[in-house]
Structures are given as C-alpha cells and as structure tokens.
Amino acid sequence: MTTVGRSTPTTRTVRVHRFKRGDDAPRMEEHDVPVEERTTVLEALRWIQLHADPTLGLRHSCFHASCGTCGVRVNGRERLACVTPISEVSGTVTVDPIANLPVLHDVVADMAPFVARFPEPHPIVRESELLPGAATPDGIDAFDRFEDCIECGLCLSACPVAATDDTYVGPAALAYAQRLLEEPRADRDAILDWADQDAGAWRCHAAFECTEACPSDVRPAQRIMSLRKDLGRRRKEQGREASTPPSSEGST
C-alpha cells in the first residue's frame, strides 16, 4: 500500500475475476479493501492476496509501467494495474483479465498466443544505453529507441476484430512490423509479404481502440495505417489493385 503522502484510508469494494484450470466456469469475488488516495489497482489486488485470499493469482513485476505484465481490464477498460489509481475508478472496482487470450488463473492471461502472432524473427534496434560509444551502421546517424511496445497485450484485448477472429495477427504485431520497415537494413519484402496476408494489415477495421488502450504511446492504429500505405504502394507497383483487401476483410 502506498505510504508516501499517506492519506486517511477509506474502504473500496474490489470485484475480481476468479478462475483456475479445472473450474466449471469463472466467478466474481468481492473484497472490501482499505485504500488511500494514491493506492493503485495492483496494490489493492496485492492486499487481497496478502490479507484475504492468498490463492488469488496475479502477474506483476516492475510497478512502474515498464514490464507490461500487470495488464488487466478495470471496469471494462484496458489498464496497467500498477499505474491505475483506485481514486480514478468510479464505484465498485471490477478487475478482469485482458480479453481475446486464454485465462490461466484469475486475472492472469496466457500470453503465448499473443507472442505467437508476431512475425518470424527480425532484428529489433533499441537505444544504445550500455554502449554509448558504439559505432552506427551506414545510413544511421545515431542509435534511437526503436521499440516502445512493452508487450502488455492491452491493444489486442481492446481490438474488436481480435474478439471475433482468432487468426488476426493483431495491432501489436502489425505495429511491430511497421517499425521494422523504418530500419534501413530490414528485409522489406519479407515484412510486407507477412503483413499482406489475409489476417494481416487489411483485416484491421480502423476502430483505433488499440491506440486508446496503449500505455506506451506506440499508436498501433496509426502504424497500421502507415503499413497499409506501404502495402498499397507495393501493390500498385506490382500491378495489383492497391485498395483491394483480402476476401476475409468483410467477415466477422
């Protein structure tokens, strides 16, 4: 529980999703949790785990929105529990696992299908912090941070297409592909071939829910639109209709 700038504790009702393998169905469980003005959703969940029910399953690590492991839905909206103050949540605080992925335990989702959506291994360029004097390759003036995605899965959870189509690669993977195109040494044809598949960039319906949910300012929806422009230009160069989507575009 937060101790810096301690305020008078109050009590909030936290309604948390409970499920473990072998259960017939998930259930919701309520706990009255003492909170302060700066208490986060993660701290409230940890209070339940420490003081009310040690079997509550949680996943967390950094406590400052860097690792992405504590992604959940709070009152139906995708949030990182570690930086979501209880004071900003109205009424009963309902905590569910992120959507569009299997649930392992309580509010812990299985991230393996999320990671499996990403394109086959390509190099990722990150800011050179450990080697400040490292020489840059030809065509690059300086190393820059190239990867802001923390792989929390919130964008996939918020995506309405992913909710109805398990084959859709999703906003995180497509934004990742678009970032790779900005790397001058990238295999552009391989990346564009991957993004041009039926379940790729053309499957996005431009709802922009992914950008709204993203806690790292990756702006996946905008990156997908940029990726579509690159695909459209290539289709035009190849003599194909640049705006022709795959046959699955209009399916639900």
Residue 194: which domain range? 112-237
In this structure, the answer to whether residues 140 and 198 fall within a common structural domain is yes
Q: Which among 109, 134, 166 is the end of a domain?
A: 109
Interval 109-132: pLDDT, tens? 999 999 999 887 655 544 444 456
**22 domain residue, yes or no:** yes
Interval 45-83: pLDDT, tens? 999 999 999 999 999 999 999 999 999 999 999 999 999
Nearest to 185 by CA among 124, 133, 228, 130: 124
The enclosing domain of 48 has a CATH number of 3.10.20.30
In this structure, the answer to whether residues 125 and 105 fall within a common structural domain is no
Specify which residues 31 forms β-bridges with: 14
In this structure, the answer to whether residues 156 and 51 fall within a common structural domain is no
The pLDDT-based confidence of 241 (bands split at 50, 70, 90) is confident
State the chain's mean pLDDT as an integer: 87
**185 domain residue, yes or no:** yes
pTM of the model: 0.83
Supply the angle between the helices 220-237 and 188-195 in degrees, to the nearest 10. 110
Contact in structure between 7 and 1 (CB atoms under 8 Å): no
Domain count, the chain: 2
In this structure, the answer to whether residues 105 and 136 fall within a common structural domain is no
**37 domain residue, yes or no:** yes
In this structure, the answer to whether residues 130 and 94 fall within a common structural domain is no
In this structure, the answer to whether residues 127 and 177 fall within a common structural domain is yes
In this structure, the answer to whether residues 169 and 99 fall within a common structural domain is no
